[in-house]
């Protein structure tokens, strides 16, 4: 799966993809992540990519031409399934969106800054608008990194234990059960006996029950979502 991320701050994305599972996915050839500097597509001599808003008001607006030039160059080289704009007024990211996007081939992600991007970029090029939550950040890079992480770990072969993504929170509409590792007792706090019993059927039943209980307590909305 190929990601092309368009940003004015490419160095912000150096680190998130260079570690752990995301790095391994690229080494294994299961995902490719290309970061493009929007300023390389600026048409004026100052290499600026933003301008004052029509109609006045505060903040700068990212201009259409640099995005158009970069997107059109990419589209002349590859086919894209989605062009996604990270934006607080998009659809809030959740596991089912990540699952869906993990089945795609190539995706372009646009990162905004300042007040955001010229509406016409959204009208003409963008196929999906995704928010990472009801709060406003200063740029789309961290949201883009979050989106890519959520997607890449679902690509078959990326996680070493293939079943582990399936048992995570939200995959079955429930939160995950509590987890423990050694020591079995720490300062008087014991691991639940059932987990030491070796009885797989009972352990699974306990985990199911814990998942349901946790979801009822913390996220009852998930149980009524269907």
Would you say 135 is a known binding-site residue?
yes
Are the C-beta atoms of residues 4 and 74 closer than 8 Å to each other? yes
Nearest alpha carbon to residue 9 among 182, 162, 186, 139:
139
Task: Show contacts with ligand SAH in window 84-123 (CB under 6 A).
Answer: 86-89, 111-113, 115-116
Binding mask 59-88 for ligand SAH (x = CB under 6 A): ---------------------------xxx
Q: Which is nearer to ligand SAH, 111 or 158 (CB)?
A: 111
Would you say 134 is a known binding-site residue?
yes
In the numeric block, the tokens 């995570």 are attached to: 168
Q: Which is nearer to ligand SAH, 116 or 215 (CB)?
A: 116
Q: Collapsing DSSP states into helix, strand and coil, what is residue 124?
A: helix
Identify the H or E element spanning 106: strand 106-110
Among 105, 133, 157, 183, binds ligand SAH (CB under 6 A): 133
Among 42, 49, 101, 132, binds ligand SAH (CB under 6 A): 132
181 DSSP β-pair partners: none
Q: Which residues of 91-117 are buried (b: 16+ CB within 10 A; e: fewer)?
A: eebebebbeebbeeebbbbbbbbbebb
Q: Which is nearer to ligand SAH, 106 or 131 (CB)?
A: 131
- Distance CA(222)–CA(220), nearest Å, equals 5
Question: Does residue 220 touch ligand SAH according to CB under 6 A?
Answer: no
Q: Which is nearer to ligand SAH, 87 or 211 (CB)?
A: 87
Are the C-beta atoms of residues 169 and 212 closer than 8 Å to each other? no
Would you say 112 is a known binding-site residue?
yes
Annotated binding-site residues read 112, 132-137
Site residues for ligand SAH per CB under 6 A = 86-89, 111-113, 115-116, 131-133, 135-137, 139-140, 143
């Amino acid at each position: 799966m190929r990601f092309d991320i368009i940003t004015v701050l490419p160095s912000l994305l150096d680190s998130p993809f260079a570690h752990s599972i995301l790095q391994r996915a690229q080494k294994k050839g299961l995902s490719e992540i290309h970061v493009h500097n929007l300023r390389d597509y600026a048409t004026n001599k100052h290499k600026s990519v933003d301008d004052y808003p029509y109609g006045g008001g505060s903040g700068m607006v990212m201009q259409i031409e640099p995005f158009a030039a970069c997107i059109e160059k990419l589209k002349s080289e590859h086919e894209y399934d989605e062009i996604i704009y990270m934006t607080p007024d998009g659809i809030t990211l959740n596991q089912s969106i990540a699952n869906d996007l993990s089945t795609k081939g190539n995706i372009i992600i646009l990162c905004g800054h300042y007040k955001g991007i010229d509406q016409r970029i959204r009208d003409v090029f963008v196929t999906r608008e995704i928010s990472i939550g009801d709060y406003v950040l200063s740029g789309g890079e961290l949201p883009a990194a979050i989106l890519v992480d959520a997607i890449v770990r679902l690509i078959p072969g990326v996680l070493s234990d293939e079943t582990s993504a399936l048992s995570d929170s939200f995959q079955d509409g429930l939160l995950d059960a509590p987890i423990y590792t050694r020591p079995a007792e720490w300062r008087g706090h014991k691991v639940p006996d059932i987990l030491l019993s070796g009885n797989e059927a009972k352990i699974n039943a306990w985990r199911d029950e814990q998942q349901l209980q946790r979801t009822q307590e913390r996220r009852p909305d998930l149980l009524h979502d269907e």
